[in-house]
């Protein structure tokens, strides 16, 4: 008869883990301890796929990716000190409308941004036409792409798909790296912040188990005597749980017999600070992704006066770095070297930087009166068609030097005595 080895006690296994040197420092983190104690299968073990199942992470990634994807990406031509929209450039339709026959631009840039915010890298396979120009971009799963340098120092990409593994040269892969410490590959936000995200996932898992195992009313059963048979105790426990455990049986009326007394316990999620912990995790993760809390449903500190400013700050300090990474990667990798000084790609952010209607219209009025915007330029920002004569620029002439103020006869302010347009010293002719 085969003798099976008894499983070691809990803390013996824990100490063995230390002796085997499982990458622990002298003071291991809470996440690392949970990982060891759970055998590497606990909630605290975080990867990109698991992180996306946590609501706060999913909300942040969704806000960032959808915000980038809805911005128009256009190609511009430099001409002197001006810029002109280059809708005739071969990359314009590819970047603005559809990067390949199976994806819209929105879907493509949404996937690219989600990949950047989770894995720290975004990849696409580039197709070229007979003239050597990029004709299509095919999004690649970042988990299957590994950049590396060859012995000669060339950058190549190992790509694993359902069809197998293949190595591509630099130029065949459109690569947008995020925050990087080696200049080669971006760092995964999820893995860098795994401890904070793991704690949030653990708290969410505990809450799920708390409510799924909830027995209402909560408490203990007391009796004056005692059970002689342990089987009787188990039968009582099972019958009680069958009747009152779980959310579907919540608030059912309990009927007690044979001197049993129910003693309620006051433990609840609030007492255990479960809700506060989950709220803190949500706020912390919003900070990691630099997303204003109100944009992922946390309205606790949001007011009508600060939401507008937070939204503008979101565009300036959260979206702009991602947009700049994409724009510069396009210039470096998709434009031919001879084109980089003539053309550039840029997302139009103006629509997301608009304030409320009153403040916007007041700003337009100042811009028109000061002469640096025309009526048609303002109408274009509001998606309105141009009007005849709207390309003129106007400038008010009421302002005069202080030295001219207060003079009688031909001075300023004598608009009905020959002063034309408020210009000092100007008099009407015969």
H helix runs in 213-261, sequence order:
230-244
Q: Which helix (H) or strand (E) holds 18?
A: helix 10-19
Q: Which two tokens stand for residue 54?
A: 């946590």
Check residue 73 and give its pLDDT.
94
Burial classification of residue 363, based on how many CB atoms lie within 10 Å of its CB (0-12 exposed, 13-18 middle, 19 or more buried): middle
Check residue 297 and give its pLDDT.
74
Give the residue extent of every domain in the chain.
Answer: 219-264, 357-402
57 closest CA partner among 191, 208, 207, 209: 191
Distance, in Å, from the CA atom of 259 to the CA atom of 275, rounded to the nearest integer, reads: 37
Distance, in Å, from the CA atom of 45 to the CA atom of 39, rounded to the nearest integer, reads: 10
Label residues 219-248 b or e (16+ Cβ within 10 Å = b). eeeeeeeeeeeeeeeeeeeeeeeeebbeee
Check residue 349 and give its pLDDT.
84
- How many DSSP H helices and E strands does the chain contain? 14, 11
What DSSP state is assigned to residue 173?
A: E
Check residue 350 and give its pLDDT.
75
Low-confidence ranges of the chain (pLDDT < 50): 1-11, 14-15, 18-19, 21-44, 215-217, 269-271, 409, 411-430
Check residue 47 and give its pLDDT.
75
- Convert the pLDDT of each residue in 354-398 to its tens digit: 666 777 788 888 888 888 899 998 888 777 888 998 999 888 777
Check residue 381 and give its pLDDT.
79
Angle between helices 55-69 and 105-119 (to 10 degrees): 140
């Amino acid at each position: 008869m085969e003798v099976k080895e008894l499983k070691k006690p809990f803390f013996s296994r824990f100490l063995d883990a230390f002796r085997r040197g499982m990458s622990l420092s002298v003071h291991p983190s809470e996440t690392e301890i949970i990982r060891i104690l759970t055998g590497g299968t606990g909630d605290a073990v975080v990867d990109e796929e698991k992180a996306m199942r946590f609501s706060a992470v999913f909300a942040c990634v969704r806000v960032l990716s959808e915000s980038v994807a809805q911005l128009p990406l256009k190609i511009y031509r430099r001409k002197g000190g001006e810029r002109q929209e280059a809708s005739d450039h071969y990359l314009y339709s590819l970047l603005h409308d559809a990067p390949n026959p199976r994806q819209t631009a929105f879907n493509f840039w949404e996937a690219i941004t989600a990949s950047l915010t989770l894995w720290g890298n975004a990849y696409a396979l580039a197709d070229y036409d007979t003239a050597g120009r990029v004709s299509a971009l095919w999004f690649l799963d970042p988990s299957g792409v590994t950049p590396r340098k060859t012995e000669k120092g060339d950058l190549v990409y190992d790509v694993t798909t359902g069809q197998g593994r293949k190595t591509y040269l630099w130029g065949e892969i459109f690569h947008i790296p995020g925050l990087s410490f080696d200049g080669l590959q971006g760092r995964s936000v999820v893995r860098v912040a795994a401890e904070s995200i793991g704690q949030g996932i653990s708290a969410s898992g505990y809450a799920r188990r708390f409510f799924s195992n909830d027995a209402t009313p909560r408490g203990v059963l007391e009796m004056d005597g005692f059970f002689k048979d342990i089987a009787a105790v188990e039968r009582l426990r099972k019958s009680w749980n069958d009747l009152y455990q779980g959310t579907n049986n919540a608030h059912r009326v309990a009927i007690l017999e044979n001197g049993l007394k129910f003693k309620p316990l006051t433990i609840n999620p609030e007492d255990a600070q479960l809700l506060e912990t989950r709220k803190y995790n949500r706020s912390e993760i919003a900070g990691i992704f630099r997303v204003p809390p109100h944009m992922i449903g946390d309205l606790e500190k949001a007011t009508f006066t600060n939401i507008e400013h937070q939204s503008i700050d979101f565009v300036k300090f959260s979206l702009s770095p991602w947009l700049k990474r994409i724009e510069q990667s396009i210039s470096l990798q998709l434009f031919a070297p001879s084109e980089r000084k003539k053309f550039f790609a840029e997302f139009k952010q103006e629509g997301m930087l608009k304030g409320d209607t009153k403040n916007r219209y007041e700003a337009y009025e100042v811009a028109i009166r000061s002469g640096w915007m025309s009526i048609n330029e303002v109408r274009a920002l509001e998606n309105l068609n141009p009007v005849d004569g709207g390309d003129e620029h106007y400038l008010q002439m009421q302002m005069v030097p202080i030295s001219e103020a207060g003079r009688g006869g031909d001075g300023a302010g004598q608009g009905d005595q020959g002063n034309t347009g408020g210009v000092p010293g100007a008099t009407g002719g015969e």
